[in-house]
Amino acid sequence: MRLRSAHRRTWRTVAAAVGGALPAAACSGVLDPVGPVGRDDANILIVATIIMLAIIIPTILLAFWMAWRYRASNTKAEYLPNWSYSGRIEAVVWSIPILTIMFIGGVIWIGSYKLDPFRPLPSKTPPLEVQVVSLDWKWLFIYPQQGVATVNQLVVPAGTPVHFSITSASVFNVFFVPRLGSMIYAMPGMVSQLHLQADHPANLFGVSAHFSGDGFSDMQFQVRSVPADQFAAWAQAARGGGPVLDQAAYAVLARQSQNVPPSTYSAIDPQLFQAVATQKIPPAPGPEPENPAHAGREVSTGGHH
User: For 96-111, what is each residue's pLDDT tens digit?
Assistant: 888 888 888 888 888 8
For residues 108 and 136, state if they share a domain: no
pLDDT per residue as tens digits for the range 165-207: 999 998 899 999 999 988 899 999 999 999 999 999 999 999 9
Do 93 and 134 share a domain, yes or no? no
User: Angle at CA 207, nearest 5°, toward 203 and 210?
Assistant: 165
Pick from 9-13, 28-32, 33-37, 256-260: least confident: 9-13
Same domain, yes or no: 88 and 205: no
Does the residue 225 lie in any domain?
yes
Strand pairing class (128-135; 138-143) = antiparallel
Structural domain includes residue 4: no
CATH number at residue 37: 1.10.287
pLDDT in tens, 208-262: 998 888 888 889 999 999 999 999 999 999 998 789 999 999 999 999 988 999 9
State in Å, rounded, how far the first CA of the chain is from the last one. 56
Please say if the pLDDT value at position 51 is more than 90.
Answer: no
Is 121 domain-assigned? no
Query: Could you tell me if residue 259 is inside a domain?
Result: yes
Tally of domains within the chain? 2
Question: What is the C-alpha to C-alpha distance for residues 132 and 23, in angstroms, rounded to an integer?
Answer: 31
Range 227-249 burial, b when 16+ CB lie within 10 A, else e: eeeebeebbeebeeebbebeeeb
Q: Of the residues 92, 114, 136, which one is the last residue of a structural domain? A: 114
Establish whether the linkage from the previous residue to 137 is cis, with ω within 30° of 0. yes
User: Is 298 strand, coil or helix?
Assistant: coil
CATH number of the domain that 175 lies in? 2.60.40.420
* Host domain of residue 93: 25-73+83-114
Question: Taking a C-beta distance cutoff of 8 angstroms, is the pair 180, 188 a contact?
Answer: no
Q: 93 and 227, same structural domain?
A: no
**Is 32 a member of any domain?**
yes
Q: Is the dihedral of CA 233, 235, 240, 242 positive or negative?
A: positive
For the purposes of burial, counting CB atoms within 10 Å of the CB of 294, is it exposed (0-12), middle (13-18) or buried (19 or more)?
A: middle
pLDDT at position 89, please?
83
Residue 254 sits in the same domain as residue 177: yes
Q: What angle do CA 16, 19, 24 make, to 5 degrees?
A: 120
